């Protein structure tokens, strides 16, 4: 496909992908909607035309004006966040980088696990692994309990970062997919999720709103 012409960049997403949602939130937070065309990719389909654009077949995927493509929510978010010369989401300047990095890694780990569970559940019932499903629920419950403490960290109580976004999209994905009601058993986590759910960029990117 030729480079984007109308808008300067093209962002491939799916409606439900939590990692694509992180980047869609970054686009709104950084006021980039007029520069980025959102395109729904056909993922996990045999012979999808999307594979000619992004050979990994994953979303999110950003195509720049010169046709260069990049995948991975962390990389794309860092790129978009830095475009205005004032990054604030992916490299919070005020925070201790290791304290921040630890939180971001744990948030990504949580959402990775929820994604594995959802992917397994999307397989035909006779192809699902009960072992994998159980393992991921247990992981989500352990991480949910640890996040119930970690959301009190000043970084998590402070301005929006990638750590907030990665944790939130996983929580919402688990909730919408009925994987586990982590917010019911973790009141601090529920408060955190409710605070973010009220933000316009987050509400606008819920699968039911797009």
Ligand X SMILES: N[C@@H](CCC(=O)N[C@@H](CS)C(=O)NCC(=O)O)C(=O)O
Query: Nearest distance from residue 106's CB to ligand X, in Å?
Result: 15
Provide the phi-psi class of 71: left if phi over 0, else alpha when psi is between -120 and 50, else beta. Answer: beta
* Residue closer to ligand X (CB basis): 19 or 100: 19
Q: Which is nearer to ligand X, 118 or 156 (CB)?
A: 118
Q: How far is the CB of 15 from ligand X (least distance, A)?
A: 11
- Considering beta carbons, is residue 11 or 196 the nearer one to ligand X? 11
Binding residue (CB under 6 A) for ligand X from 39, 70, 72, 78: 72
145-184 binders of ligand X (CB under 6 A): none
Residue 60 makes contact with ligand X by CB under 6 A:
yes
**How many CB atoms lie under 10 A from the CB of residue 23?**
28
- Give the span between the Cα atoms of 160 and 100, in whole angstroms: 12
3-state helix, strand, coil in the chain (%, to 5): 55, 10, 35
Question: Using CA atoms, how far apart are residues 82 and 80, in angstroms rounded to an integer?
Answer: 5
Residues from 105 through 144 that contact ligand X (CB under 6 A): 115
Count of residues binding ligand X (CB under 6 A)? 13
Give the span between the Cα atoms of 50 and 59, in whole angstroms. 10
Binding residues for ligand X, rule: CB under 6 A, are: 17-19, 43-44, 57-60, 72-74, 115
């Amino acid at each position: 496909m030729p480079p984007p012409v109308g808008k300067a960049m093209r962002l491939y997403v799916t409606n439900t992908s939590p990692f694509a949602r992180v980047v869609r939130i970054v686009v709104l937070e950084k006021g980039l909607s007029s520069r980025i065309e959102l395109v729904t990719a056909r993922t996990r389909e045999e012979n999808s035309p999307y594979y000619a654009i992004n050979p990994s077949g994953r979303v999110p995927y950003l195509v720049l004006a010169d046709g260069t493509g990049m995948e991975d929510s962390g990389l794309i978010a860092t790129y978009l966040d830095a475009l205005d010369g004032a990054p604030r989401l992916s490299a919070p300047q005020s925070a201790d980088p290791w304290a921040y990095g630890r939180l971001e890694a744990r948030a990504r780990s949580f959402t990775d696990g929820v994604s594995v569970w959802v992917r397994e559940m999307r397989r035909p019932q006779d192809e699902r692994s009960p072992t994998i499903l159980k393992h991921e629920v247990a992981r989500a419950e352990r991480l949910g309990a640890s996040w119930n403490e970690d959301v009190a960290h000043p970084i998590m109580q402070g301005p929006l970062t990638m750590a907030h976004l990665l944790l939130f999209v996983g929580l919402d994905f688990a909730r919408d997919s009925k994987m586990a009601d982590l917010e019911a058993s973790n009141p601090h986590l529920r408060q955190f999720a409710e605070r973010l759910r009220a933000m316009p960029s987050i509400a606008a990117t819920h699968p039911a709103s797009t």
